[in-house]
């Protein structure tokens, strides 16, 4: 029996150990260029281009064909997507599942709508990997993921929500707050899979402190933490420091860069943090 994990590129995964995992790219589109969010894309260059560019830009999700191609010929596939409330990625993956299972009646695809993005998708992939390694049944893994996801949270700190607003992912009224110079907006992936605002702060340090107190409120007690950022390693390190002093039992903290899709929406300086809760 062959297993394959396929995640869309909003997962920010570039390397993955212990299971066969591939990512399918979303795209960032301007009137001048199309950026395919592959591991090879130079994200810093894209961010620099976008700073120079004042025209319209948008994004698009992987097509049904992209998902199908990534499934390959695996017997048991897990397809992990960004929230269905903000992207068509889940709908494409689900159609791909239907076609794949029609084509290969003895193969199966489990499509997981994470109602989130980034770190939550990493945790989902790791959970699948660990359950496969422990010898769990495929159907049990699919079911278990639904309860596992209830024990994860995703927070983010953004300095601008321009691209989110221009593409209809948050209201212009909400984006206006973040548009004020020097304001850091704190948000959370809501239970419904949409963007909800938690707070606004004058400085990055106060925003990061709010993240840490928010983690305590939501029941963080030593689980995994995954931080991704767009050209803000200092902010990410400051956050790690605060977490380590507030939660000395925090075990696994990873820090890495946002790939293109998350960089486009989180914008320069944006930080996304996912964590497991009790
Ligand atoms: O299909 C597409 O074109 C992609 C649209 C994606 C829109 C939202 C991406 C947000 C990425 C921002 C902070 C985290 C948001 C939490 C989601 C519930 C990063």
Q: What is the mean pLDDT, run by run of 10 residues, along the chain of 278 residues?
A: 98 98 98 97 97 96 98 98 98 98 98 98 98 98 98 97 94 82 93 95 97 97 98 98 97 96 98 97
The finding on whether 169 has its CB within 6 A of some atom of ligand 1 is yes
* Residue in 119, 228, 265, 275 to alter for ligand 1 test, most ligand atoms within 8 A of Cβ: 265
Question: Would you state the pLDDT for residue 177?
Answer: 82
Residue whose CA lies nearest to ligand 1 atom number 16: 189
The finding on whether 152 has its CB within 6 A of some atom of ligand 1 is no
Question: Would you state the pLDDT for residue 173?
Answer: 84
Of the chain, the percentage scoring pLDDT greater than 70 comes to: 100
Question: Would you state the pLDDT for residue 251?
Answer: 87
Prediction pTM value: 0.98
* Residue in 257, 261, 269 to alter for ligand 1 test, most ligand atoms within 8 A of Cβ: 261
Distance 121 CA to ligand 1 centre (A): 12
Q: Which atom of ligand 1 is nearest to the CA of 194?
A: 18
Question: Would you state the pLDDT for residue 118?
Answer: 98
Distance 123 CA to ligand 1 centre (A): 17
Distance 23 CA to ligand 1 centre (A): 16
Distance 190 CA to ligand 1 centre (A): 12
Tens of pLDDT along 118-176? Answer: 999 999 999 999 999 999 999 999 999 999 999 999 999 999 999 999 999 998 888 88
Taking the C-alpha atoms of residue 136 and residue 19, their distance in angstroms, rounded to an integer, is 14
Cβ proximity of 261 and 9 under 8 Å:
yes
Distance 108 CA to ligand 1 centre (A): 27
Question: Would you state the pLDDT for residue 233?
Answer: 98
């Amino acid at each position: 029996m062959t297993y394959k994990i396929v995640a869309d590129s909003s997962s920010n995964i570039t390397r993955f150990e212990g299971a066969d995992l591939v990512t399918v790219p979303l795209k960032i589109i301007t009137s001048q260029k199309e950026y395919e969010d592959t591991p090879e894309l130079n994200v810093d260059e894209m961010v620099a281009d976008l700073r120079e560019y004042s025209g319209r830009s948008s994004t698009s999700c992987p097509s049904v064909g992209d998902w199908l191609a990534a499934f390959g010929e695996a017997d048991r596939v897990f397809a992990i997507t960004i929230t269905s409330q903000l992207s068509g990625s889940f709908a494409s993956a689900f159609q791909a599942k239907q076609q794949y299972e029609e084509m290969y009646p003895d193969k199966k695809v489990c499509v997981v709508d994470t109602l989130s993005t980034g770190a939550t998708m990493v945790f989902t992939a790791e959970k699948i990997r660990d359950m496969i390694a422990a010898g769990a049944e495929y159907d049990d893994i699919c079911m278990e993921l639904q309860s596992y996801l209830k024990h994860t949270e995703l927070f983010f700190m953004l300095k601008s929500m321009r691209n989110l607003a221009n593409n209809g992912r948050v209201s212009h009224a909400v984006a206006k707050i973040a548009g004020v110079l020097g304001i850091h907006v704190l948000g959370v992936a809501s239970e419904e899979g949409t963007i909800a605002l938690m707070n606004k702060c004058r400085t990055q340090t106060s925003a990061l402190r709010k993240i840490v107190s928010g983690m305590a409120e939501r029941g963080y007690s030593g689980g995994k933490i995954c931080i991704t950022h767009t050209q803000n390693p200092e902010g990410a390190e400051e956050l790690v420091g605060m977490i380590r002093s507030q939660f000395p039992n925090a075990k696994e903290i990873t820090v890495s860069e946002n790939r293109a899709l998350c960089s486009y929406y989180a914008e320069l300086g944006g930080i996304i943090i996912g964590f497991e809760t009790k």
